[in-house]
Structure 1
Amino acid sequence: MQSLKVLLLSAAVGCGTGLPAAASSSTWYNSEGGRVRLVTSGKPDEAGRIHGVLDIALKPGWKTYWRDPGDAGVPPQIDISASTNIANATFSFPPPQRHDDGYGKWAGYDHPVSLPVRFTLSAPNEPAVIDADIFLGICETICIPLQTKLTIDPGSDPDNAEDAALVKAALATLPAPARPDFGVNILPGDRETLIVEASFPGSPEAADFFVAGERDYMFGVPARSEKDGKLVFAVPILDRPTTTPTDGGLYYTLTTAAGAVEGLLPFP
Protein backbone atom coordinates (compact mmCIF):
# COMPACT_ATOMS: atom_id res chain seq x y z
CA MET A 1 0.00 0.00 0.00
CA GLN A 2 0.98 3.60 -0.31
CA SER A 3 2.87 4.96 2.66
CA LEU A 4 1.13 6.24 5.77
CA LYS A 5 2.46 9.69 4.88
CA VAL A 6 0.47 9.60 1.63
CA LEU A 7 -2.60 8.52 3.56
CA LEU A 8 -2.30 11.35 6.03
CA LEU A 9 -1.63 13.93 3.34
CA SER A 10 -4.85 12.80 1.69
CA ALA A 11 -6.88 13.11 4.88
CA ALA A 12 -9.03 15.94 3.61
CA VAL A 13 -10.44 13.69 0.89
CA GLY A 14 -12.08 11.32 3.34
CA CYS A 15 -13.22 13.52 6.23
CA GLY A 16 -16.78 14.34 7.09
CA THR A 17 -19.59 13.92 9.56
CA GLY A 18 -22.54 11.58 9.39
CA LEU A 19 -25.73 13.13 10.72
CA PRO A 20 -27.36 11.46 13.74
CA ALA A 21 -30.25 9.09 13.13
CA ALA A 22 -33.25 8.50 15.38
CA ALA A 23 -32.90 4.74 14.95
CA SER A 24 -30.72 1.85 15.99
CA SER A 25 -28.48 2.66 13.00
CA SER A 26 -26.76 5.84 11.88
CA THR A 27 -27.13 7.51 8.52
CA TRP A 28 -24.64 6.51 5.83
CA TYR A 29 -21.51 8.60 5.37
CA ASN A 30 -20.41 8.68 1.72
CA SER A 31 -16.78 8.89 0.59
CA GLU A 32 -14.90 8.46 -2.68
CA GLY A 33 -14.40 4.71 -2.27
CA GLY A 34 -17.61 3.71 -0.55
CA ARG A 35 -19.79 4.51 2.43
CA VAL A 36 -19.99 3.58 6.12
CA ARG A 37 -22.58 3.52 8.88
CA LEU A 38 -23.00 2.12 12.38
CA VAL A 39 -25.78 -0.36 13.05
CA THR A 40 -26.79 -1.75 16.46
CA SER A 41 -29.13 -4.40 17.77
CA GLY A 42 -30.79 -1.66 19.86
CA LYS A 43 -31.18 -3.35 23.23
CA PRO A 44 -28.27 -4.12 25.56
CA ASP A 45 -27.74 -7.74 26.57
CA GLU A 46 -27.76 -9.02 30.15
CA ALA A 47 -24.09 -8.04 30.54
CA GLY A 48 -24.80 -4.39 29.66
CA ARG A 49 -23.38 -4.55 26.13
CA ILE A 50 -24.89 -3.28 22.89
CA HIS A 51 -23.84 -5.28 19.85
CA GLY A 52 -23.39 -3.53 16.54
CA VAL A 53 -21.41 -3.39 13.33
CA LEU A 54 -19.42 -0.89 11.36
CA ASP A 55 -21.01 -1.47 7.95
CA ILE A 56 -18.44 -0.73 5.20
CA ALA A 57 -19.94 -0.70 1.69
CA LEU A 58 -16.87 -0.55 -0.54
CA LYS A 59 -17.19 0.36 -4.20
CA PRO A 60 -15.87 -2.21 -6.72
CA GLY A 61 -12.07 -2.22 -6.82
CA TRP A 62 -11.67 -0.67 -3.36
CA LYS A 63 -10.22 -2.39 -0.29
CA THR A 64 -9.87 -1.86 3.44
CA TYR A 65 -7.71 -3.28 6.21
CA TRP A 66 -7.82 -6.02 8.85
CA ARG A 67 -6.84 -5.36 12.49
CA ASP A 68 -3.14 -5.46 11.42
CA PRO A 69 -2.74 -3.49 8.18
CA GLY A 70 0.98 -4.10 7.64
CA ASP A 71 3.66 -1.43 7.82
CA ALA A 72 1.90 1.22 5.72
CA GLY A 73 -1.82 0.84 6.32
CA VAL A 74 -4.45 2.17 8.68
CA PRO A 75 -6.47 -0.25 10.85
CA PRO A 76 -10.12 0.55 11.61
CA GLN A 77 -10.37 2.78 14.67
CA ILE A 78 -13.28 3.99 16.79
CA ASP A 79 -13.28 6.70 19.46
CA ILE A 80 -16.37 6.77 21.68
CA SER A 81 -15.10 9.32 24.22
CA ALA A 82 -17.84 11.81 23.29
CA SER A 83 -20.60 9.24 23.85
CA THR A 84 -23.09 9.14 26.72
CA ASN A 85 -23.00 6.09 29.01
CA ILE A 86 -20.58 4.15 26.77
CA ALA A 87 -17.48 2.86 28.58
CA ASN A 88 -15.68 1.30 25.61
CA ALA A 89 -16.07 -0.15 22.14
CA THR A 90 -14.25 -3.20 20.76
CA PHE A 91 -14.02 -4.40 17.14
CA SER A 92 -14.08 -8.01 16.02
CA PHE A 93 -12.87 -9.03 12.56
CA PRO A 94 -14.09 -11.52 9.95
CA PRO A 95 -11.37 -13.67 8.32
CA PRO A 96 -9.15 -11.46 6.13
CA GLN A 97 -7.54 -12.18 2.78
CA ARG A 98 -3.92 -11.68 1.73
CA HIS A 99 -3.44 -8.85 -0.78
CA ASP A 100 -0.43 -7.82 -2.88
CA ASP A 101 -0.78 -4.49 -4.66
CA GLY A 102 2.82 -4.19 -5.85
CA TYR A 103 3.83 -2.03 -2.87
CA GLY A 104 3.58 -4.80 -0.29
CA LYS A 105 1.52 -7.67 1.05
CA TRP A 106 -1.14 -6.95 3.63
CA ALA A 107 -4.31 -8.35 5.18
CA GLY A 108 -7.76 -6.96 4.55
CA TYR A 109 -10.97 -7.07 2.54
CA ASP A 110 -11.73 -6.38 -1.13
CA HIS A 111 -15.50 -6.58 -0.74
CA PRO A 112 -18.19 -4.92 1.41
CA VAL A 113 -17.68 -6.01 5.01
CA SER A 114 -19.42 -5.54 8.35
CA LEU A 115 -17.07 -5.36 11.34
CA PRO A 116 -18.82 -6.36 14.58
CA VAL A 117 -18.32 -3.86 17.39
CA ARG A 118 -19.31 -4.33 21.03
CA PHE A 119 -20.29 -1.27 23.05
CA THR A 120 -20.11 -1.65 26.84
CA LEU A 121 -22.42 0.56 28.88
CA SER A 122 -21.07 2.42 31.89
CA ALA A 123 -24.43 2.04 33.66
CA PRO A 124 -26.40 -0.91 32.18
CA ASN A 125 -29.84 0.40 33.14
CA GLU A 126 -29.35 3.97 31.93
CA PRO A 127 -29.96 5.43 28.43
CA ALA A 128 -26.98 5.62 26.08
CA VAL A 129 -26.05 7.62 23.00
CA ILE A 130 -23.22 6.40 20.77
CA ASP A 131 -21.21 9.32 19.40
CA ALA A 132 -18.36 7.63 17.53
CA ASP A 133 -15.42 9.07 15.61
CA ILE A 134 -14.54 6.54 12.89
CA PHE A 135 -11.19 6.35 11.10
CA LEU A 136 -10.17 3.73 8.55
CA GLY A 137 -8.09 3.42 5.41
CA ILE A 138 -9.67 2.53 2.08
CA CYS A 139 -7.64 1.94 -1.06
CA GLU A 140 -7.94 1.66 -4.82
CA THR A 141 -4.74 2.55 -6.68
CA ILE A 142 -3.95 4.95 -3.82
CA CYS A 143 -5.14 4.95 -0.22
CA ILE A 144 -7.19 7.60 1.50
CA PRO A 145 -8.33 7.80 5.11
CA LEU A 146 -12.06 7.86 5.71
CA GLN A 147 -12.89 9.88 8.81
CA THR A 148 -16.36 10.72 10.07
CA LYS A 149 -18.53 10.99 13.17
CA LEU A 150 -21.51 8.63 13.42
CA THR A 151 -24.22 9.03 16.05
CA ILE A 152 -26.90 6.61 17.25
CA ASP A 153 -29.50 6.64 20.00
CA PRO A 154 -30.00 2.85 20.27
CA GLY A 155 -33.00 3.24 22.57
CA SER A 156 -34.99 5.24 20.01
CA ASP A 157 -35.72 2.13 17.90
CA PRO A 158 -34.79 -0.86 20.07
CA ASP A 159 -36.93 -3.42 18.21
CA ASN A 160 -35.70 -2.79 14.65
CA ALA A 161 -35.71 -6.32 13.21
CA GLU A 162 -33.69 -5.41 10.10
CA ASP A 163 -30.84 -3.91 12.13
CA ALA A 164 -30.84 -6.83 14.57
CA ALA A 165 -30.68 -9.29 11.67
CA LEU A 166 -27.72 -7.47 10.11
CA VAL A 167 -25.83 -7.56 13.42
CA LYS A 168 -26.60 -11.26 13.85
CA ALA A 169 -25.39 -12.02 10.31
CA ALA A 170 -22.14 -10.11 10.88
CA LEU A 171 -21.43 -11.98 14.11
CA ALA A 172 -21.93 -15.26 12.22
CA THR A 173 -19.02 -14.37 9.88
CA LEU A 174 -16.46 -14.27 12.70
CA PRO A 175 -13.88 -17.03 13.03
CA ALA A 176 -14.68 -19.73 15.55
CA PRO A 177 -12.49 -20.08 18.65
CA ALA A 178 -9.36 -22.12 18.01
CA ARG A 179 -9.29 -25.68 19.37
CA PRO A 180 -6.62 -28.40 19.63
CA ASP A 181 -7.42 -29.91 16.22
CA PHE A 182 -7.96 -26.56 14.48
CA GLY A 183 -5.50 -23.84 15.44
CA VAL A 184 -1.78 -23.20 15.82
CA ASN A 185 0.97 -23.94 18.33
CA ILE A 186 4.22 -22.03 18.71
CA LEU A 187 7.39 -23.96 17.82
CA PRO A 188 10.89 -23.01 19.02
CA GLY A 189 12.16 -19.97 17.16
CA ASP A 190 14.37 -16.98 17.88
CA ARG A 191 13.95 -13.27 18.55
CA GLU A 192 13.65 -12.60 14.82
CA THR A 193 11.14 -15.29 13.84
CA LEU A 194 7.76 -16.49 15.13
CA ILE A 195 7.23 -20.12 14.08
CA VAL A 196 3.86 -21.83 14.39
CA GLU A 197 2.57 -25.25 13.45
CA ALA A 198 -0.99 -25.35 12.10
CA SER A 199 -3.56 -28.09 12.66
CA PHE A 200 -6.78 -28.05 10.62
CA PRO A 201 -9.11 -30.18 8.51
CA GLY A 202 -8.78 -30.25 4.75
CA SER A 203 -6.11 -29.37 2.23
CA PRO A 204 -3.13 -27.16 3.17
CA GLU A 205 -3.11 -25.28 -0.15
CA ALA A 206 -5.87 -22.90 0.92
CA ALA A 207 -4.56 -22.30 4.45
CA ASP A 208 -3.14 -18.95 5.54
CA PHE A 209 -2.02 -17.52 8.87
CA PHE A 210 -2.48 -13.93 10.03
CA VAL A 211 -1.01 -12.53 13.23
CA ALA A 212 -1.64 -9.01 14.50
CA GLY A 213 1.18 -6.88 15.84
CA GLU A 214 0.42 -5.70 19.37
CA ARG A 215 2.46 -3.95 22.07
CA ASP A 216 5.18 -2.73 19.66
CA TYR A 217 5.47 -6.00 17.75
CA MET A 218 5.54 -5.83 13.95
CA PHE A 219 5.44 -8.88 11.69
CA GLY A 220 6.29 -9.64 8.08
CA VAL A 221 4.58 -12.02 5.65
CA PRO A 222 4.65 -15.68 6.77
CA ALA A 223 6.75 -18.21 4.85
CA ARG A 224 5.14 -21.66 4.43
CA SER A 225 6.79 -25.05 4.77
CA GLU A 226 5.91 -28.59 5.82
CA LYS A 227 7.41 -30.48 8.75
CA ASP A 228 6.45 -34.04 9.68
CA GLY A 229 3.29 -33.73 7.62
CA LYS A 230 2.28 -30.46 9.34
CA LEU A 231 2.01 -27.03 7.77
CA VAL A 232 4.44 -24.59 9.40
CA PHE A 233 4.43 -20.78 9.12
CA ALA A 234 7.63 -18.82 9.84
CA VAL A 235 6.76 -15.16 10.46
CA PRO A 236 9.54 -12.53 10.45
CA ILE A 237 9.53 -10.36 13.58
CA LEU A 238 10.35 -6.95 12.11
CA ASP A 239 10.17 -5.09 15.40
CA ARG A 240 9.56 -5.98 19.04
CA PRO A 241 9.49 -4.30 22.45
CA THR A 242 12.64 -4.14 24.54
CA THR A 243 10.94 -6.26 27.21
CA THR A 244 8.66 -9.16 26.29
CA PRO A 245 5.17 -8.58 27.78
CA THR A 246 4.01 -11.13 30.35
CA ASP A 247 0.27 -10.44 30.08
CA GLY A 248 -2.12 -10.75 27.18
CA GLY A 249 -1.06 -12.10 23.82
CA LEU A 250 -1.14 -11.78 20.04
CA TYR A 251 -4.39 -12.16 18.10
CA TYR A 252 -4.18 -14.60 15.21
CA THR A 253 -6.53 -15.95 12.56
CA LEU A 254 -6.03 -19.21 10.67
CA THR A 255 -8.02 -19.42 7.44
CA THR A 256 -8.64 -22.66 5.52
CA ALA A 257 -11.02 -24.11 2.96
CA ALA A 258 -12.90 -25.63 5.91
CA GLY A 259 -13.42 -22.30 7.67
CA ALA A 260 -11.45 -20.04 10.00
CA VAL A 261 -10.52 -19.93 13.66
CA GLU A 262 -8.92 -17.29 15.87
CA GLY A 263 -7.06 -17.25 19.14
CA LEU A 264 -4.30 -15.70 21.24
CA LEU A 265 -0.62 -16.60 21.09
CA PRO A 266 1.87 -15.91 23.89
CA PHE A 267 4.31 -13.14 23.09
CA PRO A 268 7.47 -14.59 21.49
Structure 2
Amino acid sequence: MYLVALAGFTAASASAAPVQTEHTVSQLVAEGPAVPGQPLWVALDQKLQDGWHTYWINPGDSGLPTEVNWTLPAGWKAGPLNFPAPHRFTTGPLVNYGYEKATRILARLDVPADAKPGSTVTLTAAANWLICADVCVPEDATLTLDVPVTAGGSPDPAV
Protein backbone atom coordinates (compact mmCIF):
# COMPACT_ATOMS: atom_id res chain seq x y z
CA MET A 1 0.00 0.00 0.00
CA TYR A 2 2.86 2.38 0.84
CA LEU A 3 4.36 2.14 -2.66
CA VAL A 4 0.98 2.68 -4.30
CA ALA A 5 0.42 5.87 -2.32
CA LEU A 6 3.99 7.04 -2.86
CA ALA A 7 3.60 6.66 -6.64
CA GLY A 8 0.73 9.18 -6.56
CA PHE A 9 2.99 12.08 -5.55
CA THR A 10 3.78 13.92 -8.79
CA ALA A 11 4.47 17.41 -10.03
CA ALA A 12 0.76 18.10 -9.44
CA SER A 13 1.14 17.42 -5.72
CA ALA A 14 0.31 20.21 -3.28
CA SER A 15 3.10 21.25 -0.93
CA ALA A 16 3.63 23.93 1.67
CA ALA A 17 6.61 26.08 2.54
CA PRO A 18 9.24 24.03 4.38
CA VAL A 19 9.98 24.57 8.06
CA GLN A 20 13.65 24.46 9.09
CA THR A 21 14.75 23.28 12.52
CA GLU A 22 18.35 22.89 13.68
CA HIS A 23 19.03 19.63 11.78
CA THR A 24 15.92 19.03 9.63
CA VAL A 25 13.87 20.67 6.88
CA SER A 26 10.26 19.43 6.98
CA GLN A 27 7.15 20.04 4.91
CA LEU A 28 3.76 18.54 4.20
CA VAL A 29 3.01 17.35 0.66
CA ALA A 30 -0.38 16.10 -0.57
CA GLU A 31 -0.75 13.72 -3.50
CA GLY A 32 -3.12 16.20 -5.16
CA PRO A 33 -6.40 17.95 -4.42
CA ALA A 34 -8.92 16.53 -1.98
CA VAL A 35 -11.96 14.81 -3.51
CA PRO A 36 -15.11 14.38 -1.38
CA GLY A 37 -15.48 10.82 -0.11
CA GLN A 38 -12.03 9.71 -1.32
CA PRO A 39 -8.83 9.24 0.68
CA LEU A 40 -6.05 11.80 0.38
CA TRP A 41 -2.46 10.74 1.06
CA VAL A 42 -0.34 13.39 2.75
CA ALA A 43 3.39 13.04 3.36
CA LEU A 44 5.65 14.47 6.00
CA ASP A 45 8.79 15.03 3.90
CA GLN A 46 12.00 15.50 5.85
CA LYS A 47 15.50 16.29 4.68
CA LEU A 48 18.11 15.60 7.35
CA GLN A 49 21.43 17.31 7.93
CA ASP A 50 24.38 15.17 6.80
CA GLY A 51 25.52 12.74 9.49
CA TRP A 52 22.19 12.79 11.34
CA HIS A 53 19.38 10.21 11.42
CA THR A 54 15.79 9.80 12.63
CA TYR A 55 13.92 6.66 13.63
CA TRP A 56 11.43 4.16 12.21
CA ILE A 57 8.13 3.24 13.91
CA ASN A 58 10.07 0.46 15.69
CA PRO A 59 13.32 2.28 16.47
CA GLY A 60 15.16 -0.76 17.85
CA ASP A 61 17.28 -0.66 21.00
CA SER A 62 17.09 3.13 21.42
CA GLY A 63 15.48 6.15 19.81
CA LEU A 64 11.90 7.30 19.30
CA PRO A 65 9.69 7.23 16.19
CA THR A 66 8.37 10.37 14.55
CA GLU A 67 4.90 11.35 15.78
CA VAL A 68 2.29 13.57 14.14
CA ASN A 69 -0.77 15.08 15.81
CA TRP A 70 -3.23 16.38 13.22
CA THR A 71 -5.61 19.31 13.43
CA LEU A 72 -8.10 18.74 10.62
CA PRO A 73 -11.33 20.30 9.37
CA ALA A 74 -14.60 18.91 10.76
CA GLY A 75 -15.34 15.42 9.45
CA TRP A 76 -11.76 14.70 8.30
CA LYS A 77 -9.91 11.77 9.87
CA ALA A 78 -6.24 10.78 9.83
CA GLY A 79 -5.10 7.17 9.79
CA PRO A 80 -1.86 5.85 11.28
CA LEU A 81 1.50 6.92 9.91
CA ASN A 82 2.97 4.70 7.19
CA PHE A 83 6.75 4.59 7.51
CA PRO A 84 9.02 3.57 4.61
CA ALA A 85 11.42 0.66 5.00
CA PRO A 86 14.23 1.73 7.35
CA HIS A 87 18.00 1.44 7.32
CA ARG A 88 19.77 -0.51 10.07
CA PHE A 89 22.18 1.42 12.32
CA THR A 90 24.56 -0.21 14.79
CA THR A 91 26.39 1.47 17.63
CA GLY A 92 28.35 -1.01 19.69
CA PRO A 93 25.87 -3.69 20.77
CA LEU A 94 22.82 -1.50 19.95
CA VAL A 95 20.80 -1.99 16.76
CA ASN A 96 18.45 0.76 15.62
CA TYR A 97 16.27 1.35 12.56
CA GLY A 98 15.67 4.67 10.85
CA TYR A 99 16.54 7.11 8.11
CA GLU A 100 19.47 9.19 6.90
CA LYS A 101 19.40 12.12 4.46
CA ALA A 102 15.63 12.13 3.80
CA THR A 103 12.37 10.36 4.50
CA ARG A 104 8.72 10.55 3.47
CA ILE A 105 6.23 9.35 6.08
CA LEU A 106 2.68 9.00 4.77
CA ALA A 107 -0.72 9.39 6.38
CA ARG A 108 -4.05 8.56 4.79
CA LEU A 109 -6.62 11.27 5.42
CA ASP A 110 -10.28 10.43 4.97
CA VAL A 111 -12.02 13.28 3.19
CA PRO A 112 -15.69 13.50 4.19
CA ALA A 113 -18.29 13.03 1.46
CA ASP A 114 -19.72 16.48 2.26
CA ALA A 115 -16.43 18.33 1.65
CA LYS A 116 -17.30 21.31 -0.56
CA PRO A 117 -15.71 21.40 -4.04
CA GLY A 118 -14.25 24.83 -4.76
CA SER A 119 -13.17 25.35 -1.15
CA THR A 120 -9.69 25.12 0.31
CA VAL A 121 -8.98 23.37 3.60
CA THR A 122 -6.02 23.83 5.91
CA LEU A 123 -4.33 20.74 7.31
CA THR A 124 -2.10 21.21 10.35
CA ALA A 125 0.41 18.67 11.64
CA ALA A 126 2.29 19.07 14.91
CA ALA A 127 5.25 16.76 14.29
CA ASN A 128 8.01 15.73 16.67
CA TRP A 129 10.99 13.45 16.18
CA LEU A 130 14.33 12.52 17.66
CA ILE A 131 17.34 13.23 15.45
CA CYS A 132 20.74 11.82 16.32
CA ALA A 133 24.41 11.94 15.36
CA ASP A 134 26.92 11.75 18.24
CA VAL A 135 24.13 13.12 20.44
CA CYS A 136 20.34 12.98 20.14
CA VAL A 137 18.20 16.11 19.96
CA PRO A 138 14.40 16.28 20.05
CA GLU A 139 12.98 18.49 17.30
CA ASP A 140 9.45 19.55 16.42
CA ALA A 141 7.60 21.69 13.95
CA THR A 142 4.03 22.75 13.28
CA LEU A 143 3.38 22.34 9.57
CA THR A 144 0.40 23.56 7.59
CA LEU A 145 -0.84 22.79 4.11
CA ASP A 146 -3.69 24.36 2.17
CA VAL A 147 -5.40 21.79 -0.04
CA PRO A 148 -8.07 22.60 -2.64
CA VAL A 149 -11.21 20.47 -2.71
CA THR A 150 -12.29 19.46 -6.22
CA ALA A 151 -15.24 17.46 -7.59
CA GLY A 152 -12.89 14.92 -9.19
CA GLY A 153 -9.21 14.06 -9.43
CA SER A 154 -6.89 15.97 -11.74
CA PRO A 155 -5.25 14.06 -14.53
CA ASP A 156 -1.61 13.19 -13.87
CA PRO A 157 0.55 15.42 -16.10
CA ALA A 158 3.41 12.92 -15.84
CA VAL A 159 1.46 10.26 -17.77
CA distance in 2, matches of 1:132, 1:123: 22
> Helix, strand or coil: the match of 2:60?
coil
CA distance in 1, matches of 2:61, 2:45: 25
Aligned to 2:126: 133
Q: Greater CA radius of gyration, 1 or 2?
A: 1
Is 1:48 aligned with 2:38? yes
Give the counterpart of 2:65 among 60, 66, 75: 75
Give the counterpart of 1:24 among 1, 8, 14: 14
Q: How big is the shift at 1:144?
A: 1.3
Give the structure, 1 or 2, with the largest relative contact order (CA under 8 Å, sep 6 or more): 2
> Helix, strand or coil: the match of 1:60?
coil
Aligned-pair identity (%): 26
Change beyond 3 A, Cα 1:39–1:33: same
Aligned to 1:10: none
The question of whether the paired residues in 1 share the 8 Å contact of 2:44 and 2:105 is answered with yes
The answer for unaligned runs of 5 or more in structure 2 is 1-12
CA distance in 2, matches of 1:30, 1:99: 25
Q: Name the TM-score, length of structure 2 as normaliser.
A: 0.74
> Helix, strand or coil: the match of 2:148?
helix
Q: Which amino acid aligns with 1:148?
A: A
CA distance in 2, matches of 1:71, 1:46: 42
Aligned to 1:6: none
Q: Which amino acid aligns with 2:72?
A: S
> Helix, strand or coil: the match of 2:88?
strand
Aligned to 2:3: none
Greater shift in the superposed pair: 150-159 or 110-119: 150-159
Corresponding residue pairs, total: 140
| Equivalent runs, 1:110-129 vs 2, <5 Å | 110-123=100-113, 125-126=115-116, 127=119, 128-129=121-122
* Structure in which a larger fraction of residues adopt strand: 2
What's the CA shift string for 1:220-265, capped at 9, x where partnerless? xxxxxxxxxxxxxxxxxxxxxxxxxxxxxxxxxxxxxxxxxxxxxx
Q: Which amino acid aligns with 2:80?
A: T
Q: Which amino acid aligns with 2:122?
A: V
What's the CA shift string for 1:137-179, capped at 9, x where partnerless? 11111111221111111118986x7xx97xxxxxxxxxxxxxx
Change beyond 3 A, Cα 1:134–1:113: same
CA distance in 2, matches of 1:131, 1:116: 14
Is 1:154 aligned with 2:143? no
What's the CA shift string for 1:181-205, capped at 9, x where partnerless? xxxxxxxxxxxxxxxxxxxxxxxxx
Change beyond 3 A, Cα 1:110–1:28: same
Aligned to 1:84: 73
CA distance in 2, matches of 1:149, 1:46: 26
